[in-house]
């Protein structure tokens, strides 16, 4: 018998006491919001709690804030995902002492390792937990982009911020069903493995700079 048939046969033999089908799922109501006064303000606060920088601005100032974020985190080279904002790309390419690479899929891990920063969009923000979710759609880049460079400048639209995990999962379910990978980011990379002292930055970006766009 194949291992597959063997394991499934053992599972069935172990469950002979279960004769009736499952009833309704649970008493749990899926996708419910968590009550809070101002989801965007809470998101700002919880992301800041994780020692990330949060900057709030109107849509017209995003490009200026990206340039400021790159300068403040000391980045001299930046990678932009395919499908990123055209105006942003042109502005960054004109900036002095900044090398801009646009990811066409040919950049190797070593290329990314030699790049200081990445600028991405995002799919969802979660206020209660201070989490940003990328579903790696246009402007968000493939997964390695927001991982290997040491500084991640991430643009989050206020309209994409939800109260808590249940609302976020409901909003992201379509991406998962489409087979898209998801990356959930809560603050910079961190470890507490040495005597439980929290150290920011092990393998992922050590700086997370969030631009929270009104509207």
Given CA atoms 193, 199, 205, 209 in this order, what sign does their dihedral have? positive
Q: Which of 41, 57, 102, 190 binds other proteins (CB under 8 A)?
A: 190
Q: How far is CA 104 from CA 15, 32, 40, 83, 197, in A?
A: 51, 39, 33, 10, 39
Question: Smallest distance, Å, CB 63 to other proteins?
Answer: 26
Question: Smallest distance, Å, CB 210 to other proteins?
Answer: 14
The SS3 of residue 66 is helix
Question: Of 147-166, which residues contact other proteins (CB under 8 A)?
Answer: 147-148, 164-166
Give the number of other CB atoms < 10 A from CB of residue 14.
9
Question: Smallest distance, Å, CB 86 to other proteins?
Answer: 21
Going by C-alpha positions, the residue among 124, 40, 118 that lies closest to residue 81 is: 118
Question: Of 82-121, which residues contact other proteins (CB under 8 A)?
Answer: 105, 109-110, 113
Question: Smallest distance, Å, CB 188 to other proteins?
Answer: 7
Going by C-alpha positions, the residue among 24, 22, 18, 120 that lies closest to residue 69 is: 120
Question: Of 47-66, which residues contact other proteins (CB under 8 A)?
Answer: 50
Which region, judged by CB under 8 A, interacts with other proteins, from 3-11, 55-63, 69-77, 86-94? 3-11
* 2 part of the interface to other proteins, by CB under 8 A: yes
């Amino acid at each position: 018998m194949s291992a597959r048939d063997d394991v499934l046969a053992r599972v069935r033999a172990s469950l002979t006491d279960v004769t009736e089908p499952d009833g309704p799922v649970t008493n749990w109501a899926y996708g419910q919001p968590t009550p809070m006064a101002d989801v965007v303000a809470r998101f700002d606060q919880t992301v800041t709690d994780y020692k990330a920088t949060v900057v709030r601005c109107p849509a017209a100032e995003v490009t200026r804030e990206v340039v400021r974020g790159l300068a403040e985190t000391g980045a001299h080279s930046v990678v932009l995902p395919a499908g990123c904002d055209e105006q942003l790309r042109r502005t960054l390419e004109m900036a002095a002492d900044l090398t801009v690479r646009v990811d066409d899929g040919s950049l190797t891990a070593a290329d990314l390792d030699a790049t200081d920063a990445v600028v991405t969009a995002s799919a969802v923000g979660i206020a209660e937990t201070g989490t940003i979710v990328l579903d790696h759609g246009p402007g968000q880049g493939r997964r390695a982009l927001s991982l290997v460079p040491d500084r991640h400048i991430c643009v989050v639209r206020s309209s994409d911020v939800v109260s808590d995990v249940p609302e976020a999962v409901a909003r992201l379910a379509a991406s998962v069903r489409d087979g898209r990978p998801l990356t959930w980011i809560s603050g910079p990379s961190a470890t507490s493995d040495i005597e439980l002292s929290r150290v920011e930055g092990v393998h992922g970006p050590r700086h997370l700079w969030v631009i929270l766009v009104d509207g």
